Structure 1
Amino acid sequence: MTTTWRRSPWDADPLSWFTTPNLPLAAAALSLAHAAIVLGIVGDAGSRPIVQIVAVALATLALVWVHVITRPRRGAVTVARALVAVLLASSALVLSAWGYLGETFAIERWWAPLSVSLLLFALAPYTSALRLAAFGGVLLAVGTVTTLLLVAPDDATWPPFATAVITLFPIVVGLVGGVVMIRTITVALTRWSERPLDVPGAASPPDELVAAVDLATAERIAPAVAFIADLLERGAITTGDAARAAAIAERLRSELTTEVDRTWIERVADGRAVVVDDPGRLAERLDLAQRTAMRALLDALLGDIESPLGSARVTLRRTDHGAIAVALRILSTMPEGRRETFLAPYYVTLQSAVENLRWRTGPVTAVEFEVAAPPTAGARVQRTPEAGTPGGPVAR
């Protein structure tokens, strides 16, 4: 749960956000249209319309800047880049309030707070909940100070508290709505990425699933049960029983240890024609974005309804300079033209998440890339939960 507060929806699944790349531009168009209606059609530009036009330009520029910094090839949105947009939006808010200084205007139709709210929504897919809360806190502080110093003294229609509430309400909506959206998406995508690959034809009713799991468990502990039953029937312990019990315990311990030590890629590929070659357990070092891209390729190319047949090999090795080299070989029955069209979004997205990406299509899709080694040891993602149905062993 702590990790999801520090993860953006784009981090959790950069592939899905490829389909909605123009959200900041849409927010910019909406902000510009709203300001044009208020200032031009309604006529609330005040006595300094040039100042309002400059403020509108700054607010629009902030959203266009978000569009620029969120292009897939530019990688993740950094704090410094996002602060540029926050600074532009704050300047627009302050400048617009200064443009109305000394005169009363319709505070409930003020265009600037809505533009700030749209900025927070535009940033939401590309930043974490904690960072958006920080950005929203800065904008709320600027809005509060601006309202109390530049707006409230000139507006006798509303008391200062009501003026602040009306002004800050759109910003609060953008902040709370953005944080809730980020948390909902990241938690859902994290759970989705942890699920095992669907095995065609393996779906079973709940009772059958329970029966299958019980059968597998019964087969695993059958020697131990038989041994204990034999002891109870004989009512005595011989010298050979200790050695037999030790052998059974060692076998069970070995099986359970092997099960626990499997990496996430071995768990999600359980029961599929996927060979995992990862003796160094390097798959545990990949972050969620890189892991999502890998499993999405396997899931889509091997689990397509129209072409369920396919196989894959995943190889992970440590490079000489400490990075993690990943190689995927995927054999899919999907037609070549449709396969290339399907893979285009993955290629663009992977370019921003990995290094030294190499991609070849044909009868066998070959994907190779490198991942920079994390600064600290240990797994960077949670382990994948055990599959709901028992599958065949993963080939090694």
Structure 2
Amino acid sequence: MMATAWSRSPWDADPLSWFTTPNLPLAAAGLTLVHGILTLGPAGQAGSRPLVQAAGLALAVIAQLWVHVVTRPRRGPFTVVRGLVGATVASAALVVSAIGYRGEAFSLELWWAPLALALLLLAMAPYVSAVGMAALGSVLLVVGTATILLLVVPDDATWPPFSTVVITLFPIIAGTVGGVVMIRVITVVLSRWSERPLEVTTARPADDDLVAAVDRATSDRISPAVAFIRAVLDRGVITEGDALRAAALAEHVRAELTGEVDRTWIERVADGRAVTVDDPDRLAECLDLAQRTAMRALLDALLGHSDPQLGSARIELRRTPDGAIAVALRIRSTLPEGRRETFLAPYYVSLQSTVENLRWRNGPVTAVEFEVAGMARPRSAVQRTPEPGTPGGPVAR
């Protein structure tokens, strides 16, 4: 998990929590525009070529709008190539701005372009991996260093070249390092969270009661072996039957231990809840982290409650003839329809961005069906299927 966390983006790890902030690139574009206008206007940093600075500012805003457009759920994952397009446009904004200041000195600490590039990294943070953030930040730093040494340093002898580079590029350095750390922490934490068992809220027992409960559970498992050992010790003789009995007990313990290890992640998640998992081929292990997170969030929303009568669920996974994995969830919940709609709306949108052929139906039984296949296949939109009893309507089980 630690190794793969470097190659996951926060959106990959949990598209649900980031669903509340889908317009982060728009916010970054707005901040870039406002900061640029204030710097070039009231602060008097437009120089002798204000139109050139305006063109550079427009390119910086376009780069962030590009990130917003290509990160919409229907457009698939945000790839490194798409990130490089945004970084290229933003780098062009930096170069154009530096050309606009050519031949004249200006306040490096008030230069709007480096902050615009740092805001671009912020806009991409939810959608790129830690490795991707480091790569994109490195591209911006290389272009920025070359631009400053070639176009800025010759016209401004106020600072040594190294100091000029550090002062100018500090926002980009901070954005790159901060982005890598943030993405890494988020993906690791969410990876651990996504496979935790569903919590059953009950009255917290006293410490002594908790220890006693653990002791009872342990005693129940090993009591046959303890009784057998005591019997052998009392007799003082080991017979052939004792050897056979010992082998049987050892096989039983081994089966229990391996059975626990061999359980799929969805079986571990469902432990202790009214959830039936039908997955004879262990296909749940083929789902990626985003798909797992969306599935468990559906269960959390409708079943993660202290009342054991709140609902139940059944999950089926099967291999289709074309090699995809078909997943069907049937969730029976006693929540009012309005609350169910409120709970589930974000999860449908999040699932839409990670699976194919998503179909869902609300009612006393919430039915969700989708397929998991290669990313090369086009994804279909969410479809409302007819209610039971209408032509073509699936029957919930």
TM-score under structure 1 length normalisation: 0.91
Q: How does 1:160-239 map to 2 (within 5 A)?
A: 160-201=161-202, 203-204=204-205, 208-239=209-240
Q: Is the contact between residue 200 and residue 306 of structure 2 (CA under 8 Å) also seen in structure 1?
A: no
Q: What percentage of aligned pairs have identical amino acids?
A: 72
Q: How does 1:55-70 map to 2 (within 5 A)?
A: 55-70=56-71
Alignment partners' CA distance in 2, 1:272 and 1:329 = 14
Matched, 1:100 2:105: no
Q: Is the contact between residue 307 and residue 334 of structure 1 (CA under 8 Å) also seen in structure 2?
A: no
Distance 1:73 1:155, change over 3 A: same
Alignment partners' CA distance in 2, 1:200 and 1:207 = 19
Q: Is the contact between residue 200 and residue 305 of structure 2 (CA under 8 Å) also seen in structure 1?
A: no
Partner residue in 1 for 2:394: none
**CA positional deviation for 1:208:** 4.1
Q: How does 1:286-365 map to 2 (within 5 A)?
A: 286-304=287-305, 309-365=310-366
Alignment partners' CA distance in 1, 2:116 and 2:206 = 50
Structure 2: 5+ residue runs without aligned partners? 377-397
Alignment partners' CA distance in 2, 1:139 and 1:222 = 65
Partner residue in 2 for 1:72: 73
**CA positional deviation for 1:128:** 0.3
Cα-to-partner distance string for 1:86-145 (whole Å, 9 max, x where unaligned): 111000011111111111111110000000000001101111000000000000000111
Distance 1:216 1:170, change over 3 A: same
**CA positional deviation for 1:356:** 0.4
Partner residue in 2 for 1:242: 243
Distance 1:374 1:153, change over 3 A: closer
Cα-to-partner distance string for 1:241-296 (whole Å, 9 max, x where unaligned): 11111111121122222221111111110111101000000001100000000001
Distance 1:203 1:65, change over 3 A: farther
Alignment partners' CA distance in 2, 1:299 and 1:221 = 34
Distance 1:208 1:86, change over 3 A: farther
Partner residue in 2 for 1:280: 281
TM-score under structure 2 length normalisation: 0.91
**CA positional deviation for 1:306:** 7.9
Q: Is the contact between residue 201 and residue 305 of structure 2 (CA under 8 Å) also seen in structure 1?
A: no
Amino acid aligned to 2:29: A
Q: Is the contact between residue 195 and residue 268 of structure 2 (CA under 8 Å) also seen in structure 1?
A: no
Q: Is the contact between residue 202 and residue 306 of structure 2 (CA under 8 Å) also seen in structure 1?
A: no
- Superposed CA RMSD: 1.6
Q: SS at the partner of 2:87?
A: helix
Alignment partners' CA distance in 2, 1:88 and 1:24 = 15
Distance 1:216 1:374, change over 3 A: farther
**CA positional deviation for 1:234:** 1.4
Partner residue in 2 for 1:15: 16
Q: Is the contact between residue 355 and residue 370 of structure 1 (CA under 8 Å) also seen in structure 2?
A: yes
Q: Is the contact between residue 318 and residue 325 of structure 2 (CA under 8 Å) also seen in structure 1?
A: yes
Q: How does 1:35-46 map to 2 (within 5 A)?
A: 35-46=36-47
Amino acid aligned to 1:172: I
**CA positional deviation for 1:334:** 1.1
Alignment partners' CA distance in 1, 2:306 and 2:28 = 37
**CA positional deviation for 1:239:** 2.3
Alignment partners' CA distance in 2, 1:151 and 1:165 = 13
Cα-to-partner distance string for 1:205-252 (whole Å, 9 max, x where unaligned): 555444333322221111111111111121111221111111111211
Matched, 1:259 2:260: yes
Give the number of the structure with larger relative contact order, counting CA–CA contacts within 8 Å between residues 6 or more apart: 1
Q: SS at the partner of 1:227?
A: helix
Alignment partners' CA distance in 2, 1:205 and 1:296 = 30
